[in-house]
Amino acid sequence: MSDPRTTPSIFTRGAVDLSALRAPAPAKPAAPSRPAASDGTPTGTVPGTLPGLAPETIIDISEANFETEVLERSLTTPVVLDFWADWCGPCKQLSPILEKLAVAAQGTWVLGKVDVDANPRLAQAFRVQGIPMVLAVIGGQPVEGFTGVLPESQIKQYIDAVLKAAGVAGVGAAVTAPEDPRLDAADDALMVGDLDAAEAAYKKILAESPADAAAESGLAQVELYRRISGQDPASVLARADADPDDLAAQRLAADVEVLNGQADEAYARLVRLVKRTAGEDRDAVRKHLLSLFAVAGPDDPAVAGARRALASALF
């Protein structure tokens, strides 16, 4: 049975009622400050948070400032909420990705960090069943999100969907229309978990534009989710560790690592497997690795390094 706190999911949650949070809860005693990190991160900084950021880029959300920083701010700027906790390992994998994207967005949207242990009423209001959990608030209302660590390419697709929804709702002047409505529709289908519709849409785009990297990435993500559907990540990794020569187990373990935000580990695992195999087995592993490269997209720096390692292993 997979741990519901850390299992990735792209499926949506039901509507939530935020009315009770418009009045802040009585103030609680301040939590003990965290010791300063060895890298000089200021005491009390959220793990993974980049220091020196403008307050409108990444904000620590509490019950006390929720109405102002989330509900009111979301009337003009989409707010993406990241629910996390100190004990959550996957949270530390997801946070740097979200923060990097928030910085790059330059205020187009704002990242709100919610410590579920310090803010249980917020976690309850948003029906948090597992962390890390991400969802957005637009115009004072929550929109669909995801649980677990997703590849950066899919997180970007989620943010794009949020910005599109904000544009439809009249929130944020910086939102622009998507360049390709076909791709937008395919991404929407993927984000709500309709893999059949997403697959058909991506394939249609590729039939007309074979070099469309975004559609290729989307189709690779559909295939990845199909392979991992119903699998318990911990059991998959345990099987792979127990039998390094089980090719199917190794490939599935690489899938799990990609979904857990450990793409580097996944690529290295399959490169090692390429070195130890030959003939059809080697070709199957090579193709699987290429499919994971497609998930990340051609511009991912980790893919460039892994491609060089693959070439060295093959030749």
pLDDT at 57: 87
215 shares its domain with 262: no
pLDDT of residue 29: 39
Q: Is residue 13 part of a domain?
A: no
- Is 176 among the domain residues? no
Point out the residues that are catalytic: 88, 91
Q: Is 277 helix (H, G, I), strand (E, B) or coil?
A: coil
The pLDDT value given to residue 170: 58
Q: Are residues 136 and 197 in the same domain?
A: no
**Same-domain check for residues 44 and 117:** yes
Residue 117 lies in a domain: yes
Could you tell me if 42 and 33 are in contact, meaning their C-beta atoms sit under 8 angstroms apart?
A: no
Per-residue pLDDT of the chain (315 residues; tens, 9 = 90+): 333 233 343 333 334 445 555 544 444 433 333 333 333 333 333 434 444 444 478 999 999 999 889 988 888 899 999 999 999 999 999 999 999 999 988 889 999 999 999 999 898 888 888 899 999 998 888 887 888 888 888 898 889 888 888 875 556 544 444 467 888 888 888 877 889 999 999 999 999 888 888 889 899 999 999 998 888 989 999 999 999 999 999 999 999 988 877 888 999 999 999 999 999 998 999 999 999 998 888 777 788 888 888 998 887
Same domain as 27, residue 60: yes
CB 149, CB 95: distance < 8 Å? no
The residue among 57, 36, 55 whose CA lies nearest residue 45 is 36
Distance between first and last Cα of the chain: 41
Q: Are residues 193 and 290 in the same domain?
A: no
Has residue 295 been placed in a domain? Answer: yes
pTM of the model: 0.51
Question: If we measure between CA atoms, which residue out of 13, 8, 30, 25 comes closest to residue 66?
Answer: 25
Residue ending a domain, choose from 119, 143, 168? 168
Q: Based on the fold, state whether residues 57 and 162 are members of the same structural domain.
A: yes
**Listed residues 126, 145, 168: the one ending a domain:** 168
11 within domain boundaries? no
From 122, 160, 101, select the one nearest 16 (Cα to Cα).
122
Same-domain status, 148 and 25? yes
Shared domain check, 157 and 67: yes
Q: Say yes or no: 72 and 199 in one domain.
A: no
Range of the domain at 113: 19-168
Residue located via tokens 């959300």? 61
| Residues contacting residue 278 through CB under 8 Å, at least 6 positions apart | none
Residues 236, 263 contacting (CB under 8 angstroms): no
Quick one: pLDDT at residue 139?
Answer: 85
Instruction: Indicate if 140 and 89 belong to the same structural domain.
Output: yes
Are 50 and 141 members of one domain? yes
Assess if residue 130 is contained within a domain. Answer: yes
28 within a domain of the structure (yes/no)? yes
- Domains in the chain: how many in total? 3
- The H or E element containing residue 216 is helix 213-228
Instruction: Say if 14 falls within a structural domain.
Output: no
CATH label of the domain that carries residue 105: 3.40.30.10
Q: In terms of domains, do 134 and 255 share one?
A: no
**Phi and psi torsions of 52, nearest 5°:** 80, 15
CATH of the domain at 301: 1.25.40
End-of-domain residue from the set 144, 168, 192? 168
